[in-house]
Amino acid sequence: MESPYLLRQARIERITRLTEKERLFRLVFEDDKTLGHVPGQFIMLSIFGAGEAPISVSSPPDTRNEFEICVRVVGSLTNVLHTLLKGSTVGIRGPYGKGFPVKEIENKDILLIAGGIGLVPMRSLIKTILLKRGAYGRITLLYGVKSPEDILFKDELDEWSKVPDFDLRITVDKPHPLWKGHTGVVTRYLPELKIDAERTAAVIVGPPVMYKYVIMGLGEKRIAGHEIFLSLERRMKCGIGKCGHCQINSVYICQEGPVFRLSDIRRLREAI
């Protein structure tokens, strides 16, 4: 049996600076196989001499041997990644974990709530939905960031906002004088949304502090717990249920998540 720790080599094909802290990397495998992920799954990214870290896949499933990740610079590995140039090689394990139930939420209105870097895995889902636009109902994306400079994928957000029945609302915590959009936390905009709870699936990805309030807001909109999906990020080392770093009670977030159905994890008191 092949070792689960075996790395595949991938070359950095393109680097796009999205903000001061985040860059988008297009990676191409040295072999000709696809990554074979579903939106919401993650890979373990390895850089020789710098370490390994879990990173979400940001592109939709691809039949080619390419995919994209968007990485915020925070520490040792991510600092080194941000110094690499086009043509450099990195190591990839995965894809790992459970992703969003793209098939199950077909024919529903989709309410997406992203906070900060949560838009990174959400982008994979949005692009997948848009590739099969007719299979889904109305799409609403509430996207909250600290300041206008932190908005990721600005051009794509602009394109998405022009898609029929795609309602995009971006809100910032700290606006600057030129900001003409919404301000305040994402939950502020939930009450004004017209939602048909019977036919809506909600997806949440963001910082832990956001979850409690968004879940309360969705409850007020009468969206059932089994129609709410959220991605839980916990610090993890192996990604394959061996090290226990991400474990909550008997649940390994790396294997049973990172995407969970709210009704399945209400019992994990520490999770949300």
Q: Give 1-10 contacts, CB < 8 A, sequence gap 24+.
A: 4/93, 4/240, 5/93, 6/93, 7/46, 7/91, 7/92, 7/93, 8/33, 8/91, 8/92, 8/93, 9/89, 9/90, 9/91, 9/92, 10/89, 10/90, 10/91, 10/92
DSSP helix/strand/coil, 119:
helix
Tell me whether residue 96 or residue 166 sits nearer to ligand FAD (CB atom): 96
Using CB under 6 A as the binding rule, whether residue 233 contacts ligand FAD is answered as yes
Segment lying near ligand FAD (by CB under 6 A), choices 49-57, 82-90, 203-211, 261-269: 49-57
Number of residues that bind ligand FAD (CB under 6 A): 22
Smallest separation (angstroms) from ligand FAD to the CB of 164: 29
Q: What is the dihedral of CA 239, 244, 246, 247, to 10 degrees?
A: 130
Using CB under 6 A as the binding rule, whether residue 71 contacts ligand FAD is answered as yes
Q: Please give the residue whose beta carbon sits closest to ligand FAD in the complex.
A: 75
Q: Which amino acid is at 48?
A: F
Using CB under 6 A as the binding rule, whether residue 271 contacts ligand FAD is answered as no
Among positions 83-122, residues that touch ligand FAD (CB under 6 A) are 117, 120
Smallest separation (angstroms) from ligand FAD to the CB of 184: 25
Smallest separation (angstroms) from ligand FAD to the CB of 234: 6
Tell me whether residue 118 or residue 217 sits nearer to ligand FAD (CB atom): 118
Residues making contact with ligand FAD (CB under 6 A)? 42, 51, 53-56, 69-72, 74-78, 117, 120, 233-236, 258
